[in-house]
């Protein structure tokens, strides 16, 4: 039978859960997930500001 194979979903899920548990025990400033999310938020803010500036320069609707 194929029970207990190392590449099964159960082992992969256990690895993900253990990585989350390890990250949860670390301080917030060391947490890689938090750092990545904050960096993405900064990139999103810059992108949205650029898009807003483009929209103001070239409006879609003429009133």
**pTM, full prediction:** 0.45
Judged by phi (left if over 0) then psi (alpha if -120 to 50, else beta), residue 4 lies in left
Q: Is pLDDT larger for residue 1 or for residue 39?
A: 39
**pLDDT tens digits, residue range 9-56?**
777 888 888 888 987 887 766 677 788 888 999 999 999 999 999 988
8 A C-beta contact, residue 28 and residue 34: yes
The pLDDT of residue 1: 46
pLDDT at res. 32: 77
pLDDT for res 44: 97
- Comparing CA positions, the residue from 54, 23, 53, 51 lying closest to residue 37 is 23
């Amino acid at each position: 039978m194929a029970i207990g194979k190392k590449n099964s979903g159960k082992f992969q899920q256990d690895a993900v859960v253990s990585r989350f548990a390890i990250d949860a025990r670390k301080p917030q400033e060391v947490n890689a997930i938090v750092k990545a999310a904050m960096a993405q938020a900064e990139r999103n803010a810059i992108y949205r500001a650029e898009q807003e500036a483009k929209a103001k320069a070239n409006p879609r609707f003429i009133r």
